[in-house]
A and B are shown apart, each in its own frame.
Chain A
Amino acid sequence: MSPARRPGGARRVALMAIACLLLAMAVQGRIEARAAASAGSAPLLYLPSGRYLHFAALGFDALLADTIYLWSIQYYGNYQIADRYLYLEQIYGQVIAELDPRYLDPYLTGALIMTTEARRPEMALRLLDKGIEHNPQVWILPFEAGFICYDDLRDYQRAAAYFEAALKVPGVPPLVRRFYAEMFNRAGDKRTSLKEWDEIYRTAGDDYVRGVAWNHVHDLTIAVDLADLRAALDLYRARQGKAPRRLQDLAEAGAIGKVPQDPEGRDYLYDPRSGEISYHALPVVAR
């Protein structure tokens, strides 16, 4: 007599369950294939503004912001989705920023994606403005905005304004000031740049920075002096109808207040025949 065992049907039913599961997985595969075929046509995004998500987050706003941020990085890094930038501003500007306004990384990453990937620097600036508004004590946001104005838009006035905002933040690293000073140089405003670098040179806390600043001051001083001298030369020519014999003539004729010397304390070189003024270490006019 066989002992009474558990009902044997259970194993058969379990096997049927596994068969069904395999079929379900096959269907899932088909769904994936369909989705891949139409990838890019349907934005897989469905998120209300962070202001409403806030209600749904049940106090886990920051966590939700993290999750969406992580997702966004993966999503925007996927080059297969052609129109993935459709909701770029909503994701960063509305969803994440409003869920967790003090979360800095998404502002920076969002701005980076907007400028370098989506080529929408103005959008990036709007995002950073929002970040600055919520985080006035953070220098990196105006710094980043200034960089975008400077590097992408080449709008030095706006860049200067952002950099100055960054410089007002207590505890801003000296790097920002150097960046600010150098920006004027790149923008062609060597005089302001010199003024800033000179300031950096005089307030430098360590030898390395002092050395770097000196190099800038050195080069900028030469560039500014040469520019001054050339302007005076033009003025002299216009008044006297001829070129001066020596640079000292410029001061005597009142075309320049005082003939400057180079940072090494030497006179600048002047060739009366060609009218060329130069720094004597260099064969041609520097910069």
Chain B
Amino acid sequence: MPARIAAIALNTFREAIRNRVLYLLLVFAVAMISCAQVLSLMTVGSEEKIIKDFGLASIDIFGVLTSVFIGIGLVSREIERRTVYTLLAKPLHRFEFILGKYAGLVLTLFVNTSVMTLWFFLILALKGMFDLRLAIAVLLLFFQFLLITALAVLFSCLSTPILSGVLTLALYVVGHLLWSFDLLQAKLTSVTGRVACRALYYLLPNLGNFDVKGDVVHGLPVGAGTVGFAALYLAFYGAAVLLLACAVFQGRELQ
């Protein structure tokens, strides 16, 4: 079974690295990380902060774009192009197909994030600003990519690439604005409204758990607990989303 998942993953990875979009995104990311130096000339004092902020933000944005752009077509494109028919006519379980697609994209993201991070660290090292704690921020960003990718795969099982792209990006934005649900709840007077607010708050992916960029840049401590709980959250939420994707795909008729 793992061999078949690996085969699908390898093929997905191959497709991604032979896709021009990936390189375009990488070039943009590297350019933006480099740009931070120019921007930092415009400020007084907090040059280091801006370079770090910009670098982390670039890795964040381009990592998310990679997972969305590649993730949304993962399953739907295989159905649309009918390539999935030949695969599922082989002794391959449908859940293996989903997990393989996911694993392939995770591998792609790992390579992608590594390239961006290495470039970022290289620039910092040259400027003498390198701080190993930034790696924690990048690790948590990678966790975030893993969760977004799972969501993209789920949506890709359900609908067209464009719609799933919109949905995934929407969840990314909502996932970062969940704190507002908390505040909204405090303002609501009706009990049902408050309960609905609370339920939504817990149901939607809380991407704030993976965001320690600010803390790291400001030199605030990021405990092992924060990383541990983020990992745990990713494990459970990610598993839930992937299992749901498998269930959806299992019951899906491939017209």
- Direct A–B contact in complex, judged by CB atoms less than 8 Å apart: yes
Question: When the two chains form the complex, which single residue of B215, B218, B232, B250 contacts A10, counting CB atoms closer than 8 Å?
Answer: B250
A17 touches B214 (CB 8 A): no
CB distance from A50 to the nearest CB of B (A): 12
Q: Say which one of B101-109, B123-131, B233-241 lies at the interface with A.
A: B233-241
Asked if A31 lies at the interface with its beta carbon under 8 angstroms from chain B, I say yes
Task: List residues of B (68-115) whose CB comes within 8 Å of A's CBs.
Answer: 94-95
Specify which chain A residues have a CB less than 8 angstroms from the CB of B214 in the assembled complex: 43-46
CB-CB under 8 A for A20 and B57, given A6-B251, A11-B247, A13-B243: no
CB distance from B66 to the nearest CB of A (A): 18
A18 touches B240 (CB 8 A): yes
Asked if A34 lies at the interface with its beta carbon under 8 angstroms from chain B, I say yes
B233 touches A24 (CB 8 A): yes
Specify which chain A residues have a CB less than 8 angstroms from the CB of B239 in the assembled complex: 17, 20
Q: Which of A28, A43, A56 has the most CB of B within 10 A?
A: A28
The complex places the Cα of A23 from the Cα of B243 at a distance, in Å, of 14
The complex places the Cα of A42 from the Cα of B226 at a distance, in Å, of 12
B243 touches A20 (CB 8 A): yes
B50 touches A48 (CB 8 A): yes
Asked if A21 lies at the interface with its beta carbon under 8 angstroms from chain B, I say yes
Specify which chain B residues have a CB less than 8 angstroms from the CB of A11 in the assembled complex: 247
Residue of A nearest to B177 (CB): A67
Question: When the two chains form the complex, which single residue of B50, B213, B244, B251 contacts A7, counting CB atoms closer than 8 Å?
Answer: B251
Bits for B13-54, please: 1 = Cβ < 8 Å to A, else 0: 000000000000000000000000001001100000010011
Asked if A257 lies at the interface with its beta carbon under 8 angstroms from chain B, I say no
Size band of the B side of the interface?
A: 35 or more
B233 touches A27 (CB 8 A): yes
Bits for A1-43, please: 1 = Cβ < 8 Å to B, else 0: 0000011011101101111110111111111001000000011
B250 touches A25 (CB 8 A): no
Looking at chain B's contact residues, the main secondary structure is helix
Residue of B nearest to A14 (CB): B247
Asked if B151 lies at the interface with its beta carbon under 8 angstroms from chain A, I say no
Question: When the two chains form the complex, which single residue of A17, A29, A31, A51 contacts B243, counting CB atoms closer than 8 Å?
Answer: A17
The complex places the Cα of A264 from the Cα of B243 at a distance, in Å, of 91
B53 touches A20 (CB 8 A): no
The complex places the Cα of A141 from the Cα of B247 at a distance, in Å, of 59
Question: When the two chains form the complex, which single residue of A10, A21, A74 contacts B237, counting CB atoms closer than 8 Å?
Answer: A21
The complex places the Cα of A128 from the Cα of B53 at a distance, in Å, of 28
A7 touches B250 (CB 8 A): yes
Residue of A nearest to B40 (CB): A52
Residue of A nearest to B184 (CB): A74
Specify which chain A residues have a CB less than 8 angstroms from the CB of B217 in the assembled complex: 46
Q: Which of B217, B229, B236, B242 has the most CB of A within 10 A?
A: B236
Asked if B225 lies at the interface with its beta carbon under 8 angstroms from chain A, I say yes
CB-CB under 8 A for A20 and B236, given A28-B209, A46-B213: yes
Residue of B nearest to A45 (CB): B214
Residue of B nearest to A13 (CB): B247
Asked if B206 lies at the interface with its beta carbon under 8 angstroms from chain A, I say yes
A52 touches B247 (CB 8 A): no
CB-CB under 8 A for A14 and B244, given A52-B39, A52-B50, A71-B180: yes
The complex places the Cα of A14 from the Cα of B241 at a distance, in Å, of 10
- Since A30-B229, A46-B211, A52-B50 are in contact, a sample of 7 more A-B pairs with Cβ atoms closer than 8 Å, ordered by chain A residue number, is A17-B239, A21-B236, A27-B232, A27-B233, A28-B233, A34-B229, A46-B215
